[in-house]
Amino acid sequence: MNPMSEGSRVAVIFPLAVSLVIMALFVGTYVSVAGSQPISSSTSSSQIQGVVTGYVTVSPSQPSCPASQTCGVDMTGYSLIFTPRCVGTAGCSPIVAPLAPSGHYSVLLNPGEYSVTGLAPSCQWVGCPSAFPRTVTVEGGMQLVFDVNIDTGIR
């Protein structure tokens, strides 16, 4: 018989998980929540990074979708591209956030403005021109939820 109730276990595990995420932000490592591929970004040890997370959805994938079926596009092999807005060329390389099959991603970025310029390897759906580019502002130590919805044009 385990004396610790289910609620007690959650109360112990949650603060530990939060502490690990905070430690990752301070150390300048990476956190991967978008599948099995790590998501990395260039870091400066003097800056606290921010987390940008969300979903990229492409829908509808067919004219009608039964309730028992998932009708979103499988996003395996796609990445969301974040390009920092900066003066000069130092630190201006795009940062790529791989997408999970569900379209979920999570990436650590240095504070500042980024242009979300599209999907790699390409964005071939009809709604791509209206979905990109978009601007996000990342604040150190903060989490930003940034979702992208791309219309396929299927009706």
Which of the four pLDDT bands, split at 50, 70 and 90, describes residue 92?
confident
- Whether the Cβ atoms of residue 151 and residue 125 lie closer than 8 Å to each other: yes
Residue whose structure tokens are 């650590």 = 108
Residue 85, amino acid: R
**Confidence check: pLDDT of 10 > 70:** no
Q: Is the pLDDT of residue 82 over 90?
A: yes
Q: What is the three-class DSSP state of 22?
A: helix
pTM for this entry: 0.66
Fold of 6-151: Immunoglobulin-like (2.60.40)
Q: What is the 3-state secondary structure (H, E, C) of the chain?
A: CCCCCHHHHHHHHHHHHHHHHHHHHHHCCCCCCCCCCCCCCCCCCCCCCEEEEEEEEEECCCCCCCCCCCCCCCCCCCEEEEEECCCCCCCCCCEEEECCCCCEEEEEECCEEEEEEEEECCCCCCCHHHHCCEEEEECCCCEEECCEEEECCCC
Per-domain boundaries in the chain: 6-151
Helices (H) and strands (E) in the chain, counts: 2, 8
| Half-sphere exposure of residue 152: CA atoms within 13 angstroms, side-chain side | 13
Categorize the per-residue pLDDT at 9 as very low, low, confident or very high, splitting at 50, 70 and 90.
Answer: very low
- The pLDDT value recorded for residue 78 is 97
Q: Between residues 11 and 78, which one has the greater pLDDT?
A: 78
pLDDT of residue 36: 30
Residue 27 has pLDDT above 60, yes or no: no
